[in-house]
Amino acid sequence: MKLAECFDYKNKLMEDLLTNPKIVHLIDEKVEVEGAEILAYHNVFPYEYIPETAEDGRTYICFDVDILSAENKTFYLPALYVWVFSHKSKLRLPDGGVRTDALCNEIANTIAGSRKYGLGELLLYSVKRFAAMTDYPGKVLTFHTKDFNTQYDPNKYTPKNRKLG
């Protein structure tokens, strides 16, 4: 099993999020996409993160990967979770709508159907309500894909009692 490839999804997702001007602007209106790397590990985390104290109202995106199951020796089924939450003072957008809904929509538009996560297309599986802490409502998006489980190693020893063809 090549788990490193699976966990590289997180590096790809961080890149996809911080190079999308709409997502960057929805996270922090003052940040431009050219300087969006400052949002990494401040507002955008490649693991489940809940702020200890909420002194200032911020918007957060967190994400992680689970292996739901090994379908067989050839494939396993990863799930990519994306948590989007924002302080209640930041929820209402100036032009109308809800910040977390707009972020979920933009994230789904950016990565759903992508062939850069696993084999085939990354599929949106669910969007559910999520409350990280008091005054921070949000959503959790779940995406499913399929990836290689065990890759063939021709140098691996084969016992003498096995059929070879």
Residue 142 bridge partners (DSSP): 81, 126
Asked if the model's pLDDT at residue 74 lies above 80, the reply is: no
CA distance 44 to 82: 10
Query: What are the CA-CA distances from residue 51 to residues 48, 58, 66 (Å)?
Result: 10, 10, 22
Q: 1 pLDDT exceeds 50?
A: no
Question: C-alpha dihedral over 102, 104, 105, 111, to 10 degrees?
Answer: 140
Fold of the CATH domain 3-48+58-148? Alpha-Beta Plaits (3.30.70)
Closest by Cα among 70, 63, 50 to 117 = 63
Residues whose CB falls within 8 Å of the CB of residue 59, separated by 6 or more in sequence, listed in order: 26, 27, 28, 43, 84, 85, 86, 87, 90, 99, 100, 103
Q: What pTM was estimated for this model as a whole?
A: 0.86
| 75 against 106, higher pLDDT | 106
Q: Are 116 and 84 in contact (CB under 8 A)?
A: no
Residue type at 159 in one-letter notation:
P
pLDDT tens-digit readout, 140-161: 999 999 887 766 566 766 666 6
Convert the pLDDT of each residue in 10-39 to its tens digit: 999 999 999 999 999 999 999 999 999 999
**Span 63-68, mean pLDDT?**
91
By DSSP bridging, strand 44-45 and strand 119-133 are unpaired
CA distances in angstroms from 1 to 4, 74, 116, listed in the order given: 9, 9, 18
